[in-house]
Chains A and B, each alone.
Chain A
Amino acid sequence: MTITTYIIISIIKSLAVIFVLLTAVAYSVWLERKVSAHIQNRWGPTRVGPFGLLQPLADGVKFIFKEDLTPPYVYKPLYIAAPVISVVFAITSIAVVPFGNSLDIRAFHVGGLTIGPISTPFQITDLNIGVLVILGITSMGVYGVALAGWSSNSKYSLLGGLRASAQMVSYEVSLGLSLIPVLIWAGSFSLRDIVLSQRHMHWNVFYLPFGTLAFFLYLISAYAETNRTPFDLPEAESELVAGYHTEYSAMKFAMFFMAEYANMVTVACLATLLFFGGWLGPVWGSDGSLLNMAMPVIWFCLKVFFFMFLYVWVRWTLPRFRYDQLMAFGWKVLLPLSIANLVVTALWVAARA
């Protein structure tokens, strides 16, 4: 296709994906409130629209109208830049995530134009180093937390920010190492190739024992990376006031909130792509004819929804780790297990070849 067609299609895809992602982030807040409520035997939001479905809209309006005050002694440039950094890096990693197989549109005529046959993957771009790009963007997201804690010029914020960023940096190591067995089997860093290597129900999570172990190591490291319970000491309400976002109000706090849920969505997408077969479904989706375009996306969304539900379920079931227990667990348990899993998988693959 021509370069202008490519640019126009990319812009349309980017806008659509950003819109869907921001709506998903807003409604994951709703999901969390409803699921946590039902776990605790109460109702959750029920008044704003049916089943409280318009609650995120009300929350958004509240955040916009709230007074956005800036405390006097903060270091202003970084105070304002830190939430922006968090949100930008949280949303960017959706650019390499494939949602489905491919979008094929036959040629049709509008007025005098012919919009020719278009075949484009259900992905903004298919980089051949997709996994590395997501890991790199996750590493850069630590800056938002660290700079927010420091620039707020307050003891609680500084300690919370340093704790949170030290935790994120520590668990990034085992996160990356736990993904390497998947890369060894797939033979490529490209997310599309990794999903296609799991055809016919050869999902990586069923690859006992290495795949299942890698999946659980990835999940635990990802929970710690996104600062979610049971690893959310740096930002829990009863610890350190509120950690690194103590001095933030209204829209800037909403941006940190959005960044946390967008990171959760990224982790859920990566878990489905690398371990649960991405958009491959049991009945349709692999080689279908009529629903060829839509069913893979539906399977993908169902799996991501399952992982978001799992996130909320784990949060409201487990107590949280103390900080020294958390760091000891990351360095003394997860890291050796990830390295051992990697070495044994590599030996196994080399011995079978």
Chain B
Amino acid sequence: MLHLALFAFFGIICVAGAINLLVQRHPINSALSLVVVMASLAAEYLLLGAEFVAAIQVIVYAGAIMVLFIFTIMLLNAGEEERTKGSRVAILLGVPGVVIGAVLVAWVLIHHSNTQSVTIGALLGDPKSIARLLFSDFLLPFEVTSVLILIAIMGAVVLASRPGAVARPQTTPAAAKEENEGPQLVAAGRERR
């Protein structure tokens, strides 16, 4: 009973945060709503008995990834979105489409799944069991995931490097000076002389 009440409480917070993310106009409000969604998901994991995953969800997702999202929004100085008149065709087709899709998914899940109720603690969620599985049975996926993240980091470094750093160096000294200092400074230097 209490378990159901807690599940409903955190589920409602999660869905409300997700809807708020779509509805808000300022991107920083959307990012903070996403943090609320992550935190309520962590609470849901706790209710399933997976305490290690819940802690890691808070540390990694809510505590590191979303902080970097918020950095980006602050640095880009993104302002409020402007209100446009919505396309009427999109509303006429979209809202019934979403409702029909949601009802279909729910019907399929309820009638065709063979799930049973499980008590907290029946499935292993403590760090020792997860570590044992992760480093023995699931070692290959673990290593492949780390290589994947490494590729993402390398891609980010290449994308963020200065545009002149990887270009071919210019041959004549005047052109090299222009490349280094920029056309305005070169012109100013020429004027002063």
- Which of A's residues lie within 8 Å of B, judged by CB? 78, 127-129, 132-133, 135-136, 138-140, 142-143, 146-147, 149-150, 158, 161-162, 165-166, 169, 172, 176, 189
Cβ-closest chain A residue relative to B60 = A139
Residues on the B chain within 8 Å of A146, using CB? 67, 70-71, 74
Contact check, B63 vs A139: say whether CB atoms are below 8 A apart.
yes
Contact check, A166 vs B59: say whether CB atoms are below 8 A apart.
no
Q: List 27 A-B contacts (CB under 8 A).
A: A78-B28, A78-B32, A128-B126, A132-B52, A132-B56, A132-B59, A135-B59, A136-B55, A136-B59, A138-B63, A139-B62, A139-B63, A140-B63, A142-B63, A143-B35, A146-B71, A146-B74, A150-B28, A150-B70, A161-B74, A162-B74, A162-B75, A165-B71, A166-B71, A169-B67, A172-B64, A189-B127
The complex places the Cα of A142 from the Cα of B70 at a distance, in Å, of 11
Of A136, A158, A169, which is within 8 A of B74 by CB?
A158
4 extra interface residue pairs, beta carbon distance < 8 Å, beyond A136-B59, A139-B67 = A139-B63, A143-B67, A165-B67, A169-B64
The complex places the Cα of A161 from the Cα of B64 at a distance, in Å, of 16
Whether a CB of chain A sits under 8 angstroms from the CB of B58 is yes
Across chains A and B, the number of contacting residue pairs, with CB separation under 8 Å, is: 60
Interface of chain A, helix or strand or loop or mixed? helix
The complex places the Cα of A78 from the Cα of B67 at a distance, in Å, of 15
Of B58, B67, B126, B127, which is within 8 A of A136 by CB?
B58
Residues on the B chain within 8 Å of A169, using CB? 64, 67-68
CB distance from B115 to the nearest CB of A (A): 27
The complex places the Cα of A140 from the Cα of B32 at a distance, in Å, of 12
Cβ-closest chain A residue relative to B126 = A128
Q: B36-78, CB under 8 A of A: which get 1 and which 0? A: 0000000000000001100110110011100110110011000
Contact check, A139 vs B59: say whether CB atoms are below 8 A apart.
yes
CB distance from B171 to the nearest CB of A (A): 33
Residues on the B chain within 8 Å of A138, using CB? 63
Residues on the A chain within 8 Å of B51, using CB? 127-129
The complex places the Cα of A147 from the Cα of B32 at a distance, in Å, of 10
The list of the 9 closest CB pairs from A to B, nearest first, reads A139-B63, A132-B55, A136-B58, A136-B59, A150-B74, A129-B55, A129-B51, A142-B67, A139-B59
- The residue in A139, A169, A172, A176 that gathers the most chain B C-beta atoms within 10 A of its C-beta is A139
The complex places the Cα of A135 from the Cα of B63 at a distance, in Å, of 9
CB distance from B43 to the nearest CB of A (A): 12
CB distance from A342 to the nearest CB of B (A): 14
Cβ-closest chain B residue relative to A142 = B67
Contact check, B63 vs A136: say whether CB atoms are below 8 A apart.
yes
- The residue in A78, A128, A140 that gathers the most chain B C-beta atoms within 10 A of its C-beta is A140
Contact check, A140 vs B74: say whether CB atoms are below 8 A apart.
no
CB distance from A169 to the nearest CB of B (A): 6
Given known contacts A129-B55, A158-B74, A165-B67, A140 and B62 CB-to-CB distance under 8 angstroms: yes
Residues on the B chain within 8 Å of A147, using CB? 70
Residues on the A chain within 8 Å of B68, using CB? 169
Residues on the A chain within 8 Å of B59, using CB? 132, 135-136, 139, 176
